[in-house]
Amino acid sequence: MDGEGKEILRFYINSGRRVFFYKNGGIMKKIFLSLLLVSLVFMNCLCSFADVIKPKNTEDACECPPSLGKAPDFQLKDLDGKEVKLSDFRGKGVILFFWASWCVRCKDHLPEINQIYGMLKDKNIELLAIDVGETAKKVKRFMKKNPIDFPVLLDVSQSVSQSYVVVGVPTFIVMDKDGYLKFQNHFWPYDYEKYLCE
């Protein structure tokens, strides 16, 4: 190999990805520049159509994401031993927060979620924290140190978390007022209102 002709240069793009091509190796340079030019033209076309794509009013902007299916009904006990059924909240938006006392991220979320809960009540949205696999005694002890205002339910047998295919905690699930699943992920749905629009 020709040392000078085959010397590798590294170019760093804003995204942090490395692009390699040979110095004086014209073919790689031409391919790179051609791809760059094509992507710039494509981005320019997208930007020029932005006004056409924008909704004309805010009602058009709120298009609900598709449903992920009907939410399975369940019945769990709260920390006072009272039975709570999901179907009792039909007609309201519901956010399920699957968590456990040993989960550091769950504990970190609690103060912020507790603040948000105050706003949710005024919007006809219920928040239910579902502890996965722990006893009432253990959860009560945790709640004394970390008090919250929203209901805590106990999924000791983990049957509810299994029916919702919860893989790890925290997991957040948003369902609309008709009981259809709209969102499921490991992060808080800050844009929860878009999943609950009529």
Token code pair at residue 12: 């760093």
Is 70 in the same domain as 115? yes
Is 171 in the same domain as 95? yes
Residue 23 lies in a domain: yes
Is 43 in the same domain as 72? no
CA distance 101 to 71: 25
For residue 50, what pLDDT is reported?
40
Count of structural domains, the chain: 2
Is 186 in the same domain as 102? yes
For residue 44, what pLDDT is reported?
56
Indicate the pairing of strand 152-155 with strand 171-175: unpaired
Is 102 in the same domain as 42? no
Strands of the sheet containing 125-132, edge to edge, are: 69-70, 180-185, 171-175, 93-99, 125-132, 152-155, 75-78, 83-85
Residue 106 lies in a domain: yes
Beta-strand runs (E) in 108-179: 125-132, 152-155, 171-175
Predicted structure pTM score: 0.67
18-33: per-residue pLDDT in tens?
444 444 456 666 776 6
Residue 3 lies in a domain: no
For residue 66, what pLDDT is reported?
76
Which stretch of DSSP H or E encloses residue 108? helix 104-122
Is 108 in the same domain as 166? yes
**Boundaries of domain holding 38:** 8-53
Is 45 in the same domain as 66? no
